[in-house]
Amino acid sequence: MDDMAFKAALAHYNKEFDEAEPYDNWAPPDNDYTVMVSKVKRGVKEKDGAPFVWWTIMVTALAPDHKEVDGRDFRLAFLSSKMFGLMKTTCNQISQNTAKRDIDAYDAEMDGYIGTCMTVRVHREQNEKSGKTFVAVDIKDIIPQQEANSGELTETTS
């Protein structure tokens, strides 16, 4: 491939490259943490000829006593059109709303999660089939807004 063809190929991907976020799969050590929802990402890709819709809910650790964890972002949940049951469970926990609603309502409410504080449990588990270790993050409880505003949020221990 000559330089001109290579440069033309690179130019084709400029927009996608600019919009791409570096992949970071960091998660804090196993423990219970106070966190705040900091970002909701969403997208769609084609998979096996059908649209694959996904959401990622990111949280920021609020652990001022542990500088290596405090202020760092990690994934609370990856939700997709392959796991609608998990999506409903996670969204119902965060919103504290168990009323039946359609997928558009779930999607619309997700941006409202930003700023929500909660206690989560981070733990590693091993997949029985693949043997790979993965990070699981379970929501333990939602911190009422009034308590979150008091500034009394710290890491909890299990």
pLDDT tens-digit map of 65-80:
889 999 999 999 999 9
Give how far Cα 145 sits from Cα of 36, 40, 94, 106, 131, Å.
Answer: 11, 19, 12, 21, 40
This prediction has a pTM of 0.79
130-141: pLDDT as tens digits: 999 999 999 999
| pLDDT (0 to 100) of residue 147 | 67
**42-56 residue pLDDT tens:** 999 888 888 999 999
pLDDT of residue 77: 96
> What residue spans define the domains of the chain?
3-149
Tell me the pLDDT band of 155, cut-offs 50, 70 and 90: very low
75 forms beta bridges with 58
